[in-house]
């Protein structure tokens, strides 16, 4: 089954961000593998009923981050995995998201063990490929 992008126009998240997040998640979970094609900018824009510049902006960021690559005359494809950010940079990017989750969870009255359990359940639902799973001692 080919990969299909979807958008939620009233979600509060910009459409280009929704596209980026969906492609990143599909790659991380193995739904998209290296070498898999993505719809062209024009085809994705027509299917999603959005401006082609929106799709181009999302694809541009995914290309800059090494998630996808353009093969002239052939189209856009999922790139071979490579880590372009240091661990310190990855942690820097993750920290505000983790802080927001923890602050929201605490303000809603959840205990730390409940927040951790929630995260573990969400990660389990993602069906991550083996190398992405955390090894427990």
Distance CA 111, CA 69 (A): 43
Q: Tell whether pTM > 0.75.
A: no
Measured from the Cβ of residue 65, the count of other Cβ atoms closer than 10 Å reads: 13
Q: What is the pLDDT of residue 101?
A: 94
Name the percent of the chain lying above pLDDT 70: 92
Name residues of the chain where pLDDT drops below 50: 135-137
Q: What is the pLDDT of residue 103?
A: 94
Q: What is the pLDDT of residue 78?
A: 96
């Amino acid at each position: 089954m080919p990969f299909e992008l979807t958008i939620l126009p009233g979600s509060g998240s910009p459409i280009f961000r929704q596209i980026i997040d969906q492609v990143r998640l599909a790659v991380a979970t193995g739904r998209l593998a290296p070498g898999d094609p993505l719809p062209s900018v024009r085809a994705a824009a027509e299917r999603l009923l959005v401006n082609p510049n929106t799709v181009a902006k999302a694809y541009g960021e995914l290309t800059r981050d090494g998630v996808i690559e353009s093969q002239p005359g052939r189209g856009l494809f999922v790139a071979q995995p490579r880590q372009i950010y240091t661990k310190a940079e990855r942690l820097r990017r993750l920290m505000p998201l983790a802080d927001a989750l923890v602050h929201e969870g605490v303000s809603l009255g959840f205990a730390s063990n409940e927040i951790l359990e929630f995260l573990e359940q969400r990660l389990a639902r993602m069906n991550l490929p083996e190398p992405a799973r955390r090894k427990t001692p």
